[in-house]
Amino acid sequence: MKNVIVIFGGGMIFKLMVIASPKGRIQSKEGIESLVATHHLFVRKGKANSFKYEEKDFIVNVASDVNIAGEKVFGVECSGDAVEESSFRGVFLSVFERQFQSVYIVWDEVSQRLSADCYPKINRVENLLRHFISRLMILKIGSEWWQINVTDNISNKIASRDGRTPYATLALQDIFNVDFKDLLDFIYSNFSGFKTKNEIQRELAGCESLEDFQNLQSRTLSNWELYFSDLLGVDFRDKWNDLAECRNAIAHNKIIDDVIFNQIQTLSNDLRVAIESAMGKMDGYVISKQEAEAINLRLSDQKNVLVSAAVKRLAEIDIKVDDIVGEIDKMRKAGSQSFNSIDLIRLFNSGEYFVNQPINWAFGRVLSGYASEFGIERQDGLVLTADDGGAATSCRAWTIL
């Protein structure tokens, strides 16, 4: 164990733990007080433990103990207006830099206050981007935007969180389960369409698997090129990543100083202005008939390929589209009016269902792609349930026509 110094000030507390060196010159409470007095920025007042810093007062109270290893441990409390000065913690720590075996910060309410002041700004800009992405993609792509854009990695994260999401069966809110940094995937890493049908028609025809299709996607236009580049600045991604690093410091209760605080203020403001400006441009943007047709053509191509990939995936485990038709017909003849995708998966998977399995994605895509052929219609909302291992998940419900 190591020596400890604790500092309290202005109603806030800053705590350090410090272990004295066995042969160090400071081994007493009076030695700590004298050490503080040696710093040229600290002016000792009438009492031994009373000081001034930047014309503001603070008091140092010292307690000592010996731990189980026989090490000398000091506790130091600093209270007073000076503690709230942004530079105080660094100056005070420098007093102990070379005099002790080890120095620990164990409590820092100044940092906590800075974090509390910063987080609302981060929270606002994070949810502003969610709002912007959702609105733009719904208007540009339509109801399929999520299924087309979400990656397996993000989908798996969301599946594990569904059970803790309020109103999960009442509204589609998956984007609120997407992590701060993962939001950039919807802008920069994902692909909702292609350049032109003619440019990729031959390559599409040659796709033999989902992997082939994903490789093709990587060589086509991204959402950034298709939708976002005219709305957001070129430095948006760099600033978002910088803010993500600062956000991690807040989320994991790390020590925050005025440098990080000011960086968060600047980045949050810059990003907020950029998103609000983009939303303003979007409100006044009218999609031409030609552009709408081109987007629909690209999406149609992509959805067809995704459905084909799903059919191939099911065929690999000996499930054919005709088999699915047969099971739905059986439910129809039995008088069933609806079913959910999990019910169907269990019929073909020995009664088992576990989240994040490839069969789940394949069934969902095939049901969407062949809905008219199956004589089914997708219901609004989602069904919240659990898999055989108790993991929460949501699934789509279908009406049998």
My answer on whether 72 and 133 are in the same domain is no
My answer on whether 234 and 133 are in the same domain is yes
3 state SS of 150:
coil
User: 217 vs 137, 149, 200, 294, 364, CA distance in Å?
Assistant: 18, 11, 10, 17, 21
Higher pLDDT, 17 or 193: 17
CATH of the domain at 76: 3.30.1370
Note the pLDDT tens digit of each residue in 281-316: 876 655 555 555 555 655 666 667 677 777 888 888
Terminal-residue alpha carbon distance, the chain: 71
My answer on whether 25 and 94 are in the same domain is yes
Instruction: Report the pLDDT averaged over residues 217-241.
Output: 81
Question: Which pLDDT score is estimated for 207?
Answer: 75
Note the pLDDT tens digit of each residue in 322-365: 888 888 889 889 888 888 888 888 888 888 888 777 788 788 88
Please provide the DSSP assignment of 267-322 as one string: HHHHHHHHHHHHHHHHHT----HHHHHHHHHHHHHHHHHHHHHHHHHHHHTT--HH
CB 397 within 8 A of CB 383: yes
User: 295 vs 29, 93, 131, CA distance in Å?
Assistant: 74, 60, 22
My answer on whether 137 and 40 are in the same domain is no
Q: Which of 45, 68, 98 is the last residue of a domain?
A: 98
On average, the pLDDT of the chain sits at 80
My answer on whether 270 and 136 are in the same domain is yes
Whether 7 shows a pLDDT value over 80: the answer reads no
pLDDT confidence tier of residue 139, bands split at 50, 70 and 90 = confident
User: DSSP strand E in 10-55: where?
Assistant: 12-20, 43-44, 50-53
pTM above 0.75, yes or no: no
The structural domain count of the chain equals 3
Question: HSE (CB half, 13 Å, CA atoms) of 109?
Answer: 15
Q: Residue 393 sits in which domain range?
A: 317-400
Assess if residue 73 is contained within a domain.
yes
My answer on whether 259 and 121 are in the same domain is yes
pLDDT confidence tier of residue 196, bands split at 50, 70 and 90 = very low
Assess if residue 310 is contained within a domain.
no
- 63 membership: H or E segment, kind and range: strand 56-66
Question: Which pLDDT score is estimated for 165?
Answer: 65
Instruction: Find, among 182, 123, 125, 193, the residue nearest to 155 by Cα.
Output: 182
Q: What is the DSSP letter of 224?
A: I
Any idea which residue has 């030609």 for tokens?
290
Whether 36 shows a pLDDT value over 60: the answer reads yes
My answer on whether 128 and 220 are in the same domain is yes
My answer on whether 11 and 63 are in the same domain is yes
Q: Which of 290, 309, 341 is the last residue of a domain?
A: 290
My answer on whether 119 and 258 are in the same domain is yes
My answer on whether 65 and 129 are in the same domain is no
pLDDT confidence tier of residue 125, bands split at 50, 70 and 90 = very high
CATH of the domain at 338: 1.10.10
Q: Which of 57-66, 157-166, 230-239, 253-262 has the lowest mean pLDDT?
A: 157-166
Question: Which pLDDT score is estimated for 242?
Answer: 95
CA distance 160 to 394: 10
Assess if residue 297 is contained within a domain.
no
Assess if residue 300 is contained within a domain.
no
CA distance 133 to 401: 34
Instruction: Find, among 273, 264, 232, 258, the residue nearest to 245 by Cα.
Output: 264
CA distance 223 to 298: 12
- Looking at this protein, which amino acid is placed at residue 215? N
Question: Which pLDDT score is estimated for 216?
Answer: 65
Cα 25 to chain centroid distance, Å, stands at: 49
Assess if residue 81 is contained within a domain.
yes
Note the pLDDT tens digit of each residue in 144-194: 777 667 766 676 666 666 556 676 656 677 788 888 988 988 888 765 554
My answer on whether 121 and 94 are in the same domain is no
Share in percent of the chain as helix, strand, coil (round to 5) = 50, 15, 30
My answer on whether 92 and 157 are in the same domain is no
CB 241 within 8 A of CB 235: no
Question: Which pLDDT score is estimated for 289?
Answer: 59
- Sign of the torsion angle spanned by Cα atoms 135, 137, 139, 143: negative
CB 345 within 8 A of CB 363: yes
CB 193 within 8 A of CB 221: yes
pLDDT confidence tier of residue 23, bands split at 50, 70 and 90 = confident
